[in-house]
A and B are shown apart, each in its own frame.
Chain A
Amino acid sequence: MRLAVALPCLLAVAATAALAAGGAAWVRLPGGDFRSALKYEDARKVRIAPFELQQRPVTNAEFLAFVQAHPQWRRDNVASVLAEPRYLSHWASPDVLGDKALPQQPVVQVSWFAASAYCEAQGARLPTWSEWEYAAAADETRRDARSDPAWRERILAWYSTPSNKALPRAGLQTPNAWGVQDLHGLVWEWTDDFSSLLVSGDNRMQGDADKFKFCGAGALSMDDRENYAVLMRVAMLSSLDAVDTTANLGFRCARDVK
């Protein structure tokens, strides 16, 4: 008797979820050897396996569908060790977006745990920092535009606009050479291994050899000091804990290629 009621409900929910989540296309990136702007202790180049990346960040509508399907991630249910008090605080209620959270805007005020759980529910994962850096090195025509001062200036220009304006919708920018949008100029994005960016809280200590802090190695330093775009992403991610949320931090998912 109960089953007869439950099944159509479940189907309805699933359908909504599929509709909402079905938005973001997946873009395939070939990977390969990549020179990071960070100076890693152990290797000059990073090897990236082929992978797929969502074309744009996850939106409010998509995340709402996830929360409805997984109520333990509602802001009134979530464990406080998995999301800080501001989690989804811009939504009108735990399951209603409201005016301040338009469906097509990238979802923000999400913790790393929530973002990871969302991606897992899609059979995916968060991108690694290297995958993100590699995809974001491109501009509209070149796969690696990082040596172009104009590329850097455009990114710096985003940093210099104040954050109190409404977020644009996801997916409006011209795709880059890989076909991926919105890697710059929209929101900061979580990566799976954001906590591997071991930098000193005082970013001036390049090459400082405080071996106790990171167990045998100094902090990460920048190989390419002119690359402020990367530098500031690293600074941002290294200032966060997994439970944190901010008003301009969102995410997109990645997945391995079979």
Chain B
Amino acid sequence: MKASSKFAACLSLALLLLAAAAAAVAAPKQAPLPRDSVYQLPATLTDQAGETRDWRSKRGTPQLVAMFYTSCQFICPLIIDSGKAVEHALPADQRARLGILLISMDPARDDPTALMSVARKRKLDAAHWSLASPEPDQVRAVAGVLGVRYRQLADGEFNHTSVLVLLDAEGRIVARSEQIGSQVDPEFVAEVRRVLAD
């Protein structure tokens, strides 16, 4: 083999190795997703800003998750109250590290405009609050991993159970509370603080 081709081979090999190394460094979250993470279920969420991502992108930040729909008059406003109450119960540094994710069970009607309307009305800080709709054929599965039961009625309203679900940074369910409204279960709040303290 000629010296120049040998050199070329070495160089390409070196570059290859370098690229591989770089790739390895550039993706710190390639640790496998735990098997008990809800993100093991693929779910594509479109939020109030119109951005569409798999909810796995929430990995890395603990989340307070609940299901709702924008035209819900009864309990869903109280769900937002719960989210705010949890926020207020946290010290400022912890508050900054919690994501609040409200997932709609009515993607047909809860497009980004409808979601944004609620966010504005309730003055929800977009830095932490995410109101999003899954794909229509994913709603049942998302409700399944969160433990929410619902039925759509003829007039478009829903009957549904309500629960606040706390996910850790890896998407594992660490606490649940069925106490909805501005008085949040103190044990649940304690769990939120514990998860954010890590």
A and B touch in the complex (CB under 8 A): yes
Query: Which residues from B are CB-within-8-Å of A196?
Result: 149-152
Q: Are B149 and A195 in contact, with the CB atoms below 8 A?
A: yes
**B144's contact among A80, A213, A242, by CB below 8 Å, is which?**
A242
In the complex the two chains form, what is the Cα distance from A214 to B35 in whole Å? 31
**Chain B interface size range:** 20 to 34
Q: Are A216 and B41 in contact, with the CB atoms below 8 A?
A: no
Query: Which residues from A are CB-within-8-Å of B38?
Result: 81
Query: Would you call A41 an interface residue if the criterion is a C-beta within 8 Å of the partner chain's C-beta atoms?
Result: yes
Query: Which residues from A are CB-within-8-Å of B40?
Result: 79, 81-82
Query: Would you call B109 an interface residue if the criterion is a C-beta within 8 Å of the partner chain's C-beta atoms?
Result: no
Q: How far is the CB of B48 from chain A (nearest CB, A)?
A: 22
Q: Which residues of B contact A (CB under 8 A)?
A: 35-38, 40-41, 72-76, 140-141, 143-145, 147-155, 157-162, 173, 180
Contacts A81-B36, A113-B41, A243-B145 given; does A42 touch B154 at CB 8 Å = yes
In the complex the two chains form, what is the Cα distance from A216 to B75 in whole Å? 8
Q: Are B160 and A79 in contact, with the CB atoms below 8 A?
A: no
Q: How far is the CB of B41 from chain A (nearest CB, A)?
A: 6
30 A–B pairs (Cβ distance < 8 Å), ordered by A: A42-B153, A42-B155, A79-B41, A80-B36, A81-B35, A81-B41, A81-B173, A82-B40, A113-B144, A116-B141, A195-B143, A195-B148, A195-B149, A196-B149, A196-B150, A197-B151, A198-B160, A212-B75, A212-B180, A215-B72, A215-B75, A215-B76, A215-B158, A215-B162, A216-B75, A241-B144, A242-B143, A242-B144, A242-B145, A243-B144
Would you list which residues of chain A between 104 and 140 have a CB under 8 Å from chain B?
112-113, 116
Count of chain A residues with Cβ under 8 Å from any Cβ of B?
27
In the complex the two chains form, what is the Cα distance from A112 to B40 in whole Å? 15
Further 19 A-B residue pairs, CB within 8 A, beyond A78-B35, A214-B160, A217-B159: A41-B159, A43-B154, A79-B35, A80-B35, A80-B36, A195-B140, A195-B143, A195-B149, A196-B150, A196-B151, A196-B152, A198-B159, A212-B180, A215-B159, A216-B73, A216-B74, A241-B144, A243-B144, A243-B145
